[in-house]
Amino acid sequence: MFISAKTRSNVLALLFSLAVVYGPMMIAEYLPYWVQKLLDLIPLAGSAADIFRTNTFHIFGKYVWSPYLLIIVPVLIGILCIPLAVKGWSRRLGA
C-alpha cells in the first residue's frame, strides 16, 4: 500500500514491490548473520517451509517461537504503513 501510494506509476509500484520481496532473498547470504535473522522475519524472504521451523528468538527476556513472529511482524509493519499510505493517497488526490 505504501509503495503504491508514493509512486504515481503502477508499473513502478510493481517493480518496487517485487524488489522489496525478492531483494532480501538475493542478498541474504552476503549479509552478517544477525541481519539474515532479521530478514527471516519478512514474509516471503525465507522459504515456504519457514512456518514449520522450531527456532526461538530471545526478545526482551522472553523466548518467542518463530512462527509467531512470522505472523505478528508483517501485521505490525502493515499497521505502521497504513497512515503513511493514506497520507500519500490523500496528497495524490489533492484533498
- Cβ contacts of residue 5 below 8 Å, gap of 6+? 84, 85, 86, 87, 88, 89, 92
In 28-93, which residue ranges form alpha helices assigned H by DSSP? 33-40, 66-93
Which pTM does this prediction carry? 0.43
The closest alpha carbon to 68, from 78, 49, 55, belongs to: 55
Helix (H, G, I), strand (E, B) or coil at 1: coil
Each residue's pLDDT tens digit, 47-89 = 555 556 667 777 788 877 777 777 777 788 888 888 887 887 7
